[in-house]
């Protein structure tokens, strides 16, 4: 009597929007047939076909079958995912790489028919690493551009993040908010009284760390700080440098780190 070895299971994911189907003529049925044949040729039995018809590739959360596919992958209901083409899975290279990295952690192989990419072989893994390198490069370039842009804003005296307590943003400019006087009160109260940060936090509706951030924030001096550098801002100061320095000295005497 011959024992039959159970074949590994494959999940097939297909997606096409109505617009793409009209333009490219690649129907779900055509994708399904090609992927089933390919999975069978590689020695897999079919677990299930996941279909997102008429769905955009922009957001995974907007594709219920994709969401279910990843949930099933995490609990290892199958051993491999087969797709027709990479852009069926995601239009974002970074999102694609991050998703495939998760699949690797879960022990799920990934196969893209048209792109000749599969993590089941040495050559497929090499191609995936090449794509990963490009994705990492894209992340670094985006990060550098963002940092350069924010640094330019700071050097120009513009706010590079949210407006702190006491200010608000209006037409991309930081101006005094209605509660600006509370910043002045908080500084004065800490300086002129032996009050703890805990009591100050409770009074003004902050956390203790939030109060400390207010008391050490150079934005209230009319300055902008970014990436370790301080620049003169375009906004109006809320407190004087004398008051600010006295508060810093008192914080230091209390052993409160900035």
List residues with catalytic annotation.
17
Instruction: Give Rg (Cα) of the chain.
Output: 28
Please give the C-alpha separations between residue 218 and each of 19, 204, 243, in angstroms, as whole numbers: 53, 19, 12
Six-digit token string for 26 = 């690649």
Please give the C-alpha separations between residue 193 and each of 121, 189, 201, in angstroms, as whole numbers: 70, 6, 14
Are the C-beta atoms of residues 238 and 177 closer than 8 Å to each other?
Answer: no
What phi and psi, each to the nearest 5 degrees, are found at residue 158?
A: -100, 150
The 3-state DSSP composition of the chain as helix, strand, coil percent (nearest 5) reads 50, 15, 30
């Amino acid at each position: 009597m011959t024992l039959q070895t159970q074949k590994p299971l494959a999940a097939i994911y297909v997606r096409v929007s109505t617009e793409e189907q009209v333009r490219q003529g690649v129907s779900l049925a055509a994708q399904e047939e090609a992927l089933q044949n390919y999975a069978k040729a590689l020695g897999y039995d079919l677990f299930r076909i996941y279909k997102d018809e008429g769905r955009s590739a922009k957001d995974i959360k907007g594709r219920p079958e994709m969401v279910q596919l990843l949930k099933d992958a995490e609990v290892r209901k199958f051993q491999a995912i087969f797709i027709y083409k990479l852009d069926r899975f995601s239009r974002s290279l970074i999102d694609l790489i991050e998703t495939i990295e998760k699949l690797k952690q879960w022990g799920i192989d990934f196969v893209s028919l048209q792109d000749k990419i599969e993590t089941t072989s040495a050559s497929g893994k090499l191609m995936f690493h090449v794509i990963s390198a490009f994705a990492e490069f894209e992340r670094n370039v985006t990060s550098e551009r963002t940092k350069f842009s924010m640094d330019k804003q700071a050097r120009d005296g513009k706010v590079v993040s949210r407006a702190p307590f006491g200010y608000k943003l209006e037409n991309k400019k930081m101006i005094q908010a209605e509660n600006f006087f509370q910043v002045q009160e908080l500084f004065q109260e800490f300086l002129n009284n032996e009050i703890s940060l805990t009591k100050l936090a409770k009074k003004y509706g902050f956390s203790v760390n939030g109060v400390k951030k207010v008391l050490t924030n150079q934005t209230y001096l009319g300055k902008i700080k970014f990436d370790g550098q301080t620049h003169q801002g375009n906004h109006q100061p809320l407190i004087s440098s004398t008051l600010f320095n006295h508060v810093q000295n008192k914080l230091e005497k209390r052993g409160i780190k900035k």
